[in-house]
Amino acid sequence: MASIQATKDYAGDWAKAKSRVLVRDMIKNTLLRFKRPELIKVLCLPGVCASGIFEIYDPLGIPRANIVGVERDTEVAEILRRKNLGIRVEKADIERYAAMQHAVSFDIISLDYTNPITWAEIGTLRRLCAKQTLDHFVLHQANLVKRDKKAYPMYAIGAGFYSYSEDDGGNTDLAFLQHHARVNAHFVRSANLLECDDNKREVKSSSYSALLRSSFQGASTGGVEDLLKFTSGEEYAEILRVMGEYIEKFVGEKVVLDREQPLGKLSARFGVRPDICRFFEESIFFILSIEARRIPIDFKPLNHALMLALSDVSKGTKFFRMRDAKSYSYISESGAPMIGDIYFVSHPRKLN
């Protein structure tokens, strides 16, 4: 009996074909302006019909030998190999493939899923971006936005937590409090809107993009400091004082945490120490556990999201900045509502 994936044929789906045109145009208008097609390398999820090969990469002149197609379904992988397309077919979960790579050098990473977004997929994106050796690449991901109730906490997190990096909190006590109130209000509003059919599409669209951006934008000591500021609110000064007393036990000398850059200046003085970074994480976890009691969403996903946001601080993970972006949505011929984002990103040292 054929597997479900082996029977899915998207080759004649005109709506999905339009999304491939968007991906192709992004590659043409960015990467191919400074890099020859024969040098472009691709990582993708080809699917049984492999339409992306014919409709995206062939028209751009990208050699099939430069394409790695990852396929978890054994039957689909065998079908692709029998088609003799000229691409390299890897029989594996994309999560396992990303975890096994020491480094990746793909100019295009295209992950066109047929399921709702999951934390495993965000983790995979983060691994691929962290291991990326190139300074410029196109990133594409698409997901189903149906039967996605389990993804609601992710949508709310994207709308709330990841919005703080786009909102200027300022440097005054009043600004800290205003920023804290804005982010909390945004988060709670998003959680509530997800329960109302009229607003689900709006919330999902904006927060989906925020979640994907979190995979390549990375974290920094500044980002963690901002997170600490808005979670602490009016107790920020007192929390810094208490944290300083505890950190003295780690370093064995008097510590007064800088109000504007507590972690940054501490790291400059003592180095990036795992025990200190972990203490900052635990402090924010504790504050958020109190905040979460007022928010109609399970705390476990928030804990997971915060760990992702903070993990780069001690690891020094490579990050990128968005240079161009395109979002899309469509209803497939089978009636499945899909959403997708396409990004062209660069390492900060190559932005000029």
pLDDT one digit per residue (tens) for the chain, 352 residues: 455 455 555 556 777 889 999 999 999 999 999 999 999 999 999 999 999 999 999 999 999 999 999 999 999 999 999 999 999 999 999 999 999 999 999 999 999 999 999 888 988 998 899 899 999 999 999 999 888 877 776 776 666 545 444 443 333 333 444 444 554 555 555 555 555 555 566 667 777 888 888 788 755 555 566 666 756 667 778 878 877 887 787 677 888 888 887 777 776 676 655 556 666 666 666 665 565 555 454 555 555 555 554 554 444 557 788 899 999 988 888 888 899 999 999 987 665 5
Which residue type, as a one-letter code, is found at position 289?
S
- What pLDDT score does 130 carry? 86
What is the spatial distance between Cα 82 and Cα 284, in angstroms, rounded to a whole number? 53
Q: Of 208, 332, 219, 339, which Cα lies nearest the Cα of 277?
A: 219
Strand partners, 326: 342
Alpha carbon separation from 336 to 56, 113, 241, 341 (Å, rounded): 22, 12, 53, 17
Look up the CATH superfamily of 4-148+318-350. Vaccinia Virus protein VP39 (3.40.50.150)
Token pair, residue 213, equals 């951006």
Supply the Cα-derived Rg of the chain in whole angstroms: 22
Which residue type, as a one-letter code, is found at position 167?
D
Q: What residue segments make up the domains of the chain, in order of their start? A: 4-148+318-350, 221-315
Tell me, yes or no, if the pTM score tops 0.85.
Answer: no
- What pLDDT score does 168 carry? 39
Please provide the size of the chain in residues.
Answer: 352
Task: Give the 3-state secondary structure of the chain.
Answer: CCCHHHHCCCCCCHHHHHHHHHHHHHHHHCHHHCCCHHHCCEEECCCCCCHHHHHHHCCCCCCHHHEEEEECCHHHHHHHHHCCCCCEEEECCHHHHHHHCCCECCCEEEEECCCCCCHHHHHHHHHHHHCECCCEEEEEEEEECCCCHHHHHHHHHHHHHHHHHHCCCCCCHHHHHHHHHHHHHHHHHHHHHCCCCCCHHHHHHHHHHHHHHHHHHCCCHHHHHHHHHHHHHHHHHHHHHHHHHHHHHHHCCCCCCCCCCHHHHHHHHHCCCHHHHHHHHHHHHHHHHHHHHHCCCCHHHHHHHHHHHHCHHHHCCCCCEEEEEEEEEEECCCCCEEEEEEEEEECHHHCC
Pairing label, strands 42-44, 67-71: parallel
Token pair, residue 243, equals 């944290």
Residue with the two structure tokens 């499945």: 336
Token pair, residue 76, equals 């689909």
What is the spatial distance between Cα 19 and Cα 328, in angstroms, rounded to a whole number? 7
What is the spatial distance between Cα 217 and Cα 348, in angstroms, rounded to a whole number? 10
